[in-house]
Structure formats: C-alpha cells, structure tokens
Amino acid sequence: MRLGRPGRPGRPGPAGRATGRAAVTAALALGIGLTAVPAQAQQPAGSGSPAPGIENCTATACHFDLPPGTYDVRVTLGGERASSTAVTGETRRALLPETAAPAGERVVRAFTVNVRTPEGEPLGAEGTPGLDLTVGGSAPALADIRVTPARHHRQILLVGDSTVCDQPGAPYSGWGQQLPQYLRKGLSVANYADSGESTVSFLGNPLLWDTVRPLIRRGDLVLIQLAHNDKTTDEATYRTNLERLVAEAREQGGRPVLVTPIVRRWFSADGTLNNPTALLVNGLGVDHPAVVRRVAADEDVPLIDLTARTKEVVEALGAEGSKALYLYDEKRDNTHTSVHGATVYANLVREALVDLHLVPEGQVRVG
C-alpha cells in the first residue's frame, strides 16, 4: 500500500501565468494598512527598483502577484509592544521561525522563497498564483516587507514522498515543508516531493523527475529520499533507480545527496525500533536504508543517514513521548509526521547539511 495523500484534491490542468520578473516592494504599517508605491516611483518590471504588483496586504497576510521564480523576502518585525512573529508561505511552508522583537524595537530578517506551479506537491492542486505569505506567531507584528527577485541564490531541490513533501492540510507535515525556516537569504528550497511516490513512480511520471531534472543548476543540491513506497521493488531495481537519479542530477551540474528514510514509529518488545516495519525493510527483504548507504559509498555521494538520526530521537523519547512526532494521537499513524515532528526532523537535516559541509554554517539558522 502506498503512503496516501490525505485530503488531497486532484490537480487541475495547467493554467497560464504572467511572464517576466518584477521587483515588488510592499510597506505595511501596523494599524495603518498598506502604503502604496507612488506612481512616479514605479520602474519597469525586472529593473530591481520598486514596481507595482501587490493585490492585497494586511496585518496577517500578503499576496504578491508574481510569476514563478525565486524571490528574496526582507521583513521588518516589531511594534510598540513586545512581539513574536513567524512567517509561513504558499502551501504551509515554514519560512521564518518565531522571532522576538522587544517593545519599541525593530528586527530585520531575510529569506529566499521558491514560487512555482503547482505551489505544493507536483501532482497536487495548483494553489494560488503568485506569492502568498502569512504572518503568525504568538504576538505577531509586521512593520515592513520587501520582495525582490533573487539575483544570486542556490537551490536545494527535494525528491521524496509524503514524509518530505509540502503537505496541503493539517495535521500533516513533511520535513521538507519545515526546512526553509532554517535557511537564510540566498538558499531556497524547491520541494518536489510527492505523496505516494517510489523510486519507480518518481522516475516513471513525466511530471516528476523529468520536470525536476531540467531545473537543476550547477552547484544546486538535490536531496533524494525515496523508500517508503518501494514496498514491492526488488533490490536490483531499487539500486538501479537510485543510481540513475544520482547520475542524472550530476549530468545537470547538481550535487546529489542521498537521504535514508525517516523511521516508522513501530517499537519492538524491548523498546527499540529494530523491527523490519520501523526500519524500512520491505516484504521482499530489501533493507532500503542499507541499499542507500551502499549506493552512497559506491558512487561517492554525500549521505544523510536520516534513518539513524530519527531512530535515535524516537528511541530517546520512548513509546509515549515519541507519539507527538507522528500522527498517532490524531490518526493512529506511525509513519506521517506532525508539524512538530517534521520540524524536529528538518532540524536534523539542517545539522547534517552543515556537518557534511554542503551548506556553510553562516547560511543556516540554529534550531
């Protein structure tokens, strides 16, 4: 049985989008509302100067009428009272963790965001055109926001399944959905993980790997975590599929990174996760994490052993404490993660990216 797409609508046919790149500046004064850009200050789209394009901006949400692309977002947080603000965007992506600002002070943060169609899962609903940002947190206060095309950035492209993807609805969340909040300006996450996919289906569907591959640029990271749905894939085929993903990512100039799958929360009698279900050994006896490790070693590919890292976390929390990482209480689900669990696991990926020197320490936020 493939990992399902909970509550997922079908994907509508492709829709047209405006072309060209625009630099957009939006100013939001607390309690005042949107400050419009004077007509005489407007510059041609793509000039890097302020240009029109805002449809609506309030104290809790902003919409930017932008074509697909990659954009730098600079937010100024704070107000008369002490505040604590977080920013999410598009399909429930965490873009900025909750950030405190003392009363009467301003705090500036920046991040880079990927805008695409569909905005979430590749086989999911298209979502809303343009860039949508939501302002949240325990005491949100947005003083200013500026969005400009990203001139210099590096992509982290994600290839994976429902444990990685941008999940469209609560309480589900994939670790790739939470990863952007740990990255600073200049690093964007393009999450092409899709629910229910195996190495076989990801390679076989033209809307998946055939769509991702041309987007890979020289120096981009391509993180590959596929295993949960390879339940009937024999070892030779599984290995061949991983080797193909690695080779074709390299052909595009990218740097592939193999990621072993997150564990399932299935405890053995001794209180460990040492049974086949927990450790992603399929019905044919294929030990997926072990195969991933061997391919990484044989092909000289960086490896994030997320199986080992998540196993350590889950076992340390124990059978009761680890429930909050998954959707056990909500759905009796020991495979899919909650927002909390996805955030914890995204932080493990952040740590690994730094440990492997794939991302400079100065370009990540500490979890």
Query: What are the tens digits of pLDDT across the range 189-224?
Result: 999 999 999 999 999 999 999 999 999 999 999 999
pLDDT digits (tens, 9 = 90+) for 308-339: 999 999 999 999 999 999 999 999 999 999 99
Mean pLDDT, the chain, integer: 87
At 310, is the secondary structure helix, strand, or coil? helix
How many CA atoms within 13 Å lie on the side-chain side of 112?
20
**pLDDT confidence of residue 32:** 25
Strand partners, 72: 112, 148
3-state secondary structure of 265: coil
pLDDT-derived band at 3 (thresholds 50, 70, 90) equals: low
Under 8 Å CB-to-CB from 290, ≥6 apart: which residues?
Answer: none
Predicted local confidence at residue 366, as pLDDT: 84
Q: Is the pLDDT of residue 86 over 50?
A: yes
Q: Which domains does the chain have, with CATH numbers?
A: 24-149 (2.60.120.260), 154-363 (3.40.50.1110)
pLDDT band at 58 (very low <50, low <70, confident <90, very high): confident
CB 70 within 8 A of CB 187: no
For residues 281 and 333, give the distance between their C-alpha atoms in angstroms, rounded to a whole number: 18
Amino acid of residue 208: L
Q: Per-residue confidence at 4, pLDDT binned at 50, 70, 90? A: low
Q: What's the pLDDT at 291?
A: 98
**What is the pTM assigned to this prediction?**
0.87
Is the pLDDT confidence value at 359 over 80?
yes
Residue 304 has pLDDT above 60, yes or no: yes
Kindly give, in sequence order, each residue whose CB lies less than 8 Å from that of residue 38, ignoring residues fewer than 6 positions away.
none
H/E stretch holding 62: strand 61-64
pLDDT band, residue 25 (cuts 50/70/90): very low
Question: Tell me, what's the pLDDT at 15?
Answer: 35
Average pLDDT over residues 287-313: 98
Q: Is residue 292 within 8 Å of residue 224, measured between CB atoms?
A: no
Q: What percent of the chain has pLDDT over 70?
A: 84
What span, in angstroms and rounded, lies between the C-alpha atoms of 200 and 210? Answer: 13
Handedness of CA 196, 208, 184, 81 (dihedral sign): negative
| From 141-145, 220-224, 298-302, the region with the lowest mean pLDDT | 141-145
Choice among 58-72, 74-88, 272-286 with the minimum mean pLDDT: 58-72
Higher pLDDT, 293 or 25: 293
pLDDT at 337: 98
Residue type, 204: G
Q: Which residue has the tokens 């790739």?
A: 176
Q: What is the pLDDT of residue 43?
A: 28
